[in-house]
Structure 1
Amino acid sequence: MAAPAKDPYINGHHESVLRSHSWRTAENSAAYLLSSLRPDMHILDVGCGPGTITIGLAARVPQGQVIGLENTAATQEQATASAAARGLTNVRFIVGDALALDFPDNTFDIVHAHQLIQHVPDPVKALSEMRRVTKPGGVVAVRSVDFSTFTWFPELGIQQDLLDWRGTHIRVGRALGGEPEAGRRLVAWARQAGFERSHITASASAWCYSTAEERAWWAALWADRILLSSFAKNVIDGGFGTQDDLDRMSCAWRKWGASEDGWFAVMHGEILCRV
């Protein structure tokens, strides 16, 4: 089987992808970190996407500074506009490489990454870089999904199609150099990056979608992502499936969303690493 063309992110930056990323906030995606914040902290948010979590962190450190870093300028304008709309002047967005952070050692009080680590080809290197630019006594905070833990109900009529979607996503992600089961590996990777085990606090949390509004939103964005984002090209070009397979998986998502019994849970691993 041929490997798909390399892309920085399995789904690219299609509107259907940013639709989900823009829903994320410091409250619903970085709750494990919030108690560590102080008003005067300097924070680096690596892999910030459209900046919604970054902006939430900036609002909590009004005497500090926050930098959001992404490997493409595709989301920079949206992130900057969102910060301006909130009236925040202590946050800015730049383009950079998570594997070669362009900052001196011991620069930040907190270095944070949400969902980044599952996509980078060398997660230990990324964590080492995050550790390098964090001040002694500071914190590296990482949260990442574990794709194999995705679970849903009901199963009747759609189970195999959604299992195929989950399995295809995992295979494509790994072919692109990532690790979709990153959540369970965070502690091991952090230790390989030089953190002492006693300095690592591990936790887990979940997103859950079950109300009619939540189901409609979650189902529609995945149904669209399967067909319209870079995922479709990666599947077909890499020989992981056909257009018929994509159509079938997308349809299954819409069937799930239409079910009043619908329930979907997404588990994440989390680590707070004291430098």
Structure 2
Amino acid sequence: MSHPTTHNTYMPGYAAPQVRHHEWRTAENSCQFLLPTLTSLATNTPTLKLLDVGAGSGTISASLARYIPHGHITATDLSDEILQRAADYAKGKGVSNISFREANVYHLPFEDESFDVVHASMVLNHLDDPVAAYREMLRVCKPGGVVANRESDGRMYSYYPELPGIRKFLDLMVSSLKASGGDVTAGPKLVSWAMKAGARREQITASMGTWTYSTPEERQMWGGTMLERIKHGGMRTMALQHNLATESDMDEMARDWEAWIAAEDGVLGLMHGEILIRK
């Protein structure tokens, strides 16, 4: 099957206010499903190599590096700007067993069977051809290694207080991701995508994970980033260009995100699909 030579772009963008919530993510809160397997592989192969695809600000990459102190992580992303931010973060944390390289998931610049572990978090739900991305990740994974991936299900949000502007925002997030070529239902589709990419069902372990935001700091981080997307980000541009929401709608969304951030009893949770593919 042939694939298009051009693909959709990453709608949220890489400006610091748009990626602030990415920097809350760690190995512990975002890829717990991988850690037992990673620890086991590192016991047998201390110098293992891990590829982190679409690493963004690199907070997951840097925390994964602590689990393989004698191994090495290669963190990739499309943006040189965000990779520099990731490199600065790793340096600040004293992480030295990591390098950074600009790369496209559809055309990874590595030889076949180069890595023991290939990891991606919240990348494929933004892609117009996730199956092709899986093929590339499987290609660069060594026999005996593992491909690990976690993706959101944009329909699965639970939140309180139940403010109407937040409901409108979540509906807009779904419609704008669709308009940009992504898939809001990625989470439960990972097994299907992996099989279409050539993995056998018996190679695959699937699970579900969650994120929860409830402390004042978590509410400020998550809600503040959503406010930025409404006011200045690619989501706002997409909404206005495609008539997905009006200025008045987005004003209401902003007011209710501000109310949610201020609510002492405010809580928000969301669900993700997770997958381990044994090569």
Fold conserved between structures, TM > 0.5: yes
Q: What corresponds to 2:56 in structure 1?
A: 49
Larger deviation: 139-148 or 70-79? Answer: 70-79
Q: Which amino acid aligns with 1:199?
A: Q
SS of the aligned residue for 2:195 comes to helix
Q: CA deviation at 1:141?
A: 0.2
Say which SS state the counterpart of residue 275 (structure 2) adopts: strand
Deviates more, 1:164-173 or 1:265-274: 164-173
Q: Which residue of 2 aligns with 1:34?
A: 35
Secondary structure of the structure 2 residue equivalent to 1:8: coil
Q: Does 1:148 align with 2:155?
A: yes
Q: Residue 4 of structure 2 aligns with which residue? A: none
Range that drifts further, 200-209 or 83-92:
83-92
C-alpha displacement of 1:230 = 1.5
Q: Does 1:64 align with 2:71?
A: yes
What is the RMSD computed on CA atoms of the aligned residues? 1.4
Match of 2:262 in 1: 258
Deviates more, 1:35-44 or 1:47-56: 35-44
Say which SS state the counterpart of residue 13 (structure 2) adopts. Answer: coil
Q: Which amino acid aligns with 2:188?
A: R
Q: How far 1:225 sits from its partner (Å)?
A: 2.1
- Please list the CA deviations of residues 142-162 of structure 1 after superposition, one character each: whole Å capped at 9, or x if unmatched: 00111100111121xx23x22
Confirm whether residue 127 of structure 1 aligns to residue 134 of structure 2: yes
> How far, CA to CA, are the matches of 1:227 and 1:203 in structure 2?
35
Aligned with 1:108 (options 95, 111, 115)? 115
Higher RCO (C-alpha 8 Å, min separation 6): 1
> Is it true that 1:249 corresponds to 2:253 in the alignment?
yes
Which residue does the alignment assign to 1:180? 184
Deviation sequence 1:180-236 (CA, Å, 0-9, x none): 221111111111111111111111111111223322332222122221222111111
Identify the match of residue 197 of structure 1 among 198, 201, 214: 201
State the TM-score, normalized to the length of structure 1: 0.93
Deviation, structure 1 residue 7: 6.1
Tell me by how many angstroms 1:125 deviates: 0.4
Aligned twin of 1:23: 24
Please say which of residues 15-24 and 212-221 is displaced more in the overlay.
Answer: 212-221
The SS at the match of 2:126 is coil
